[in-house]
Amino acid sequence: MKKNSNASKIYEILDEFLPVDIQFLEQKDPFRFLISVILSAQTTDKIVNAVVRQLFAVYPDVKSLAQANLEDVQEIIYPTGYYRNKAKNIIACAQALGDSEVPDTMEALIKLPGVGRKTASCVLGDIYRKPAIIVDTHFARVVKRLGLVATTDPGKIEKEIASLLEPSQHYRFSMTANLFGRTVCHAKKPSCDDCPLSGLCPSRDAFLKK
């Protein structure tokens, strides 16, 4: 199937420009990765990576976290913010998983406490290497500036970007566009002068005039 040619060019340029292996969260085990992603809402990956090292030192697996004391978990994950809700969710998530593996479908993942489409997409892409468009603030900003979408609604962005690229490109593009947003196409002052996509970007002139 022929996909959107501008999106394909952007994909190719970012694929070349950025490292082959992009990883924001340290944990590799599926359960630990899932918990890390739940904790990553509204905070930085650096904080999450530090907090989960402590969390998994005390609760190393699904069973121990499922039986954890709420206040003790709250205390450990406090630096990630929204710690009351997050503690409740990660304990409930561990309880819901029980002896099961972390699911490998969107439908099953979003039934778990604290797991929305973004978290599920992270797991599908990172752990199971399945097609996944991960819409976070960096990704949404980059694809909108590049004119690939006109909306700011995460659900619509996910669908629209998925329709522009081959499924095999979805996860890689999620990671490259995200890293590109963190390192080049910054929220406040994008580095348009040094941007490898400047020839394809409809927002470039507006930023250069500022």
**Which residues are near ligand SF4 by CB under 6 A?**
145-146, 184-185, 190-192, 195, 197-198, 201, 203-204, 207
Residue 145 vs 170, nearer CB to ligand SF4:
145
The distance from CA 181 to its chain's CA centroid, rounded to whole angstroms, is: 12
Residue 131 vs 181, nearer CB to ligand SF4:
181
| Least distance CB 172 / ligand SF4 (angstroms) | 18
| Least distance CB 45 / ligand SF4 (angstroms) | 21
| Least distance CB 156 / ligand SF4 (angstroms) | 20
| Least distance CB 186 / ligand SF4 (angstroms) | 8
Residue 2 vs 210, nearer CB to ligand SF4:
210
Tokens of 5: 């040619």
Do residues 197 and 207 lie in contact, with contact meaning Cβ atoms separated by under 8 Å?
no
Residue 88 vs 144, nearer CB to ligand SF4:
144
Task: State the DSSP code for 113.
Answer: T
Residues with Cβ < 8 Å from 60, sequence gap 6 or more?
none
- Sign of the Cα torsion 31, 32, 35, 36 reads negative
Q: How many CA atoms lie within 13 A of 181 on its CB side?
A: 19
